[in-house]
Amino acid sequence: MGKASRRKSQSFLHGALILTASILIVKLIGALFKVPLTWVITEDGLGYFNTAYNFYGPIYSLATAGFPIAISRLVSESCTRGAYRDIRRIHRASAPIFIGTGTVGFALMVFGAAAYAKIIGNENALPALYTLAPAILFSCLTAIYRGYYEGLRNMYPTAISEIIEALSKLTVGLSAACLILHQGMKEYETLGTVFGVAAASRDYARNAVLPYAAAGAILGVTVGSLLSFLFLFCRHKLIGDGITEENLRNSPPPRSMRKTVSRLVRTAIPIGIGAMAVNVAAMVDTTFLQTRIHNVMEQNPQVLLSMYQGMIPQINIETDTVPNFLFGCFSMALTLFMLVPAITQAFGISALPNVTAAYTRGEALHLKKSMEAVLRVTALFSIPAGMGLAVMAGPVARLVFGARPSLPITSHVLVIMGVGAIFASFSTPVNSMLQAVGRVDLPVKLLAVGLTIKVTLNYFLVGIPEINVLGAGAGTLVCYFFLTVAALICLCRETRIMPDFLSIFGKPLIASILCCAAAWSTRGLLSHVLSENLSTLGGVGAAVLVYSLSLLCLRAICRDDILMLPNGQKIAKILEKHGWIR
């Protein structure tokens, strides 16, 4: 594993660029999966799919227990000190931990699936729940290598493994879903049954096939997690980690295995609780949205059904699957919402080693620059993306998911979620910086409060017939607003550094307002001569152009940010020549 070549590491923005590029590719592949999947399995199948996924999330977080971030942090810290033997020992210590926790997580999902499905009144989600269970073990094994390489500031293994995972989801998941749906409906047309059970009509037959089609889509996730692990395992065996024999010879003696495991556990548990809280928040949406809408349908269905008249299919009303259908509509909005924080998550992963190094060395100026770079790049992306989703909710939802009766439900949720996406985007990078400066406990405490806010709002708002599914969006917005503001206050207090918030947030906000105005007006003008989708694309193109020009005119981008990019010196010279950076 120890090669003779010199070990190289990546700067924050270089690493972030690698992860961002991979995430963009992953999200593009994900869109090629999720959008056709929505057309194939509709809102009902998407409800089963996301019910399984949101139950999987907290168990996966419990199984990994924050170890990937803990490994990244401790490896980065050891790398800064030149303690390369400690780095190798951290890797050896993590393997048995993940195998054990992954096995426990797999068992929890298998044996807990039936009870959870019964609690939320959605037993049709069981095939998807069982199919997803092995992914916990494979994902835990994958996490060993991702955290290790991220700590060494090598983001390529993580990026490539994520693309492999996404491609598997697309090819295996979409193919399996289409095949199962085709076979189920073919059996109905021939025999009048679905997997041996008689179906009263074509609508009832399709309704019976969808839980298994959703499980077929989930199969792509499970296979993807296996292939991702196999790639990282083989890469580590064949190429190694870049630590040279000279690095090891000059390294101080390593800590004992007992001390290494102890440090890993002490660092990981608070992070794991925090990560679990985030995933529990998603399960809160799944649970309360479905159970509370069940209550509404039992006690006062007229209000809800009159609100969504013509949007909810009759088959869902007859089969008592309206809660799952509305959860499917919410999931469609959530798919677009998650695009924004998914990108900025890369900034948090890439920032952690750099912020840790600056804090470990006591370099206040470097720490301030690193913090500002993370916040500025996050703001430059998340503010226009979130505002754009809110302003263009209806047209964007139509463009992505097609014209369908339920579209107004999804677009109304997306207006709220678009604003929430801005705050959700800052949550992970800011929490990563808190963890990087040694306060791994603070994100946990803040998330506990934020989760309480979300649970309370979801329970009461979703249960109001006039609000119903919109309450889940409102709970998400308020929760992430609190988390972002509180985490920023704590970060400033812990580091005793006050970033230039006016410059970081002010200029992107002004540019975002201009780009949203351009998107809305351009779409309105083009809609008189072009189709709905083409006018929406024209509006998005105008928004990107106006936003880019606004940023350059406002000089919102710093020279240091550009220099940390690959070939940054050349890019900086061109932009400086025109006076577009400061």
3-state secondary structure of 200: coil
Please state the separation of Cα 249 from the chain's center in Å. 40
> What digits encode the pLDDT tens for the residues 136-160?
999 888 888 887 887 777 778 888 8
pLDDT in tens, 243-266: 878 888 888 888 888 888 887 777
Give Cα separations from 192 to 188, 195, 196, 205 (angstroms): 4, 10, 9, 8
Amino acid letter, residue 376: R
Residue that the structure tokens 């809800």 belong to: 304
| Cβ atoms of residues 449 and 427 within 8 Å | no
How many angstroms separate the CA atoms of 318 and 322, rounded?
Answer: 9
The most confident of 232-246, 250-264, 399-413, 429-443, by mean pLDDT:
399-413
Instruction: Compute the average pLDDT of residues 37-47.
Output: 91
Rounded Cα gap, residues 408 and 393, in angstroms: 9
Percent of the chain, pLDDT > 70? 88
Token reading at 565: 């990019």
Strands (E), 298-430: none
Structure tokens, 97: 């931990």
Question: What's the pLDDT score for residue 392?
Answer: 94
Residue 526 has pLDDT above 80, yes or no: yes
Q: What is the pTM of this model?
A: 0.76
**CA distance linking residue 301 with residue 481, whole number of Å:** 32
Work out the pLDDT band at 398, boundaries 50, 70, 90. Answer: very high
Lowest-confidence region among 465-474, 503-512, 551-560 = 551-560
Place 352 in a pLDDT band, splitting at 50, 70 and 90: low
Mean pLDDT of 336-348: 75
Which of 2-16, 95-109, 207-221 is most confident? 207-221
346 band by pLDDT with thresholds 50, 70 and 90:
low
Contact between 277 and 62 (Cβ < 8 Å):
no
Please state, in angstroms and rounded to a whole number, the distance separating the CA atoms of residues 492 and 430: 10
Residues near 76 by beta carbon (within 8 Å), at least 6 away in sequence: 151, 152, 153, 352, 353, 356, 357
* Total Cβ atoms within 10 A of residue 7: 18
Residue 375 has pLDDT above 80, yes or no: yes
* Cα(405)–Cα(384) distance, integer angstroms: 28
Tokens of 384: 């226009």
Number of neighbouring beta carbons within 10 Å of residue 249: 9
Cβ(561)–Cβ(380) below 8 Å: no
Instruction: Provide the pLDDT for residue 274.
Output: 58
Spatial contact of 462 and 288, defined as CB atoms under 8 Å apart: yes
Q: Are 479 and 453 in contact (CB under 8 A)?
A: yes
State pLDDT tens for residues 461-492.
999 999 999 999 999 899 999 999 999 999 89
Min mean pLDDT across 68-82, 125-139, 282-296, 535-549 is at 68-82
Question: Stretch 213-227: mean pLDDT, rounded?
Answer: 94
The span from the CA of 147 to the CA of 241, in Å, is 12
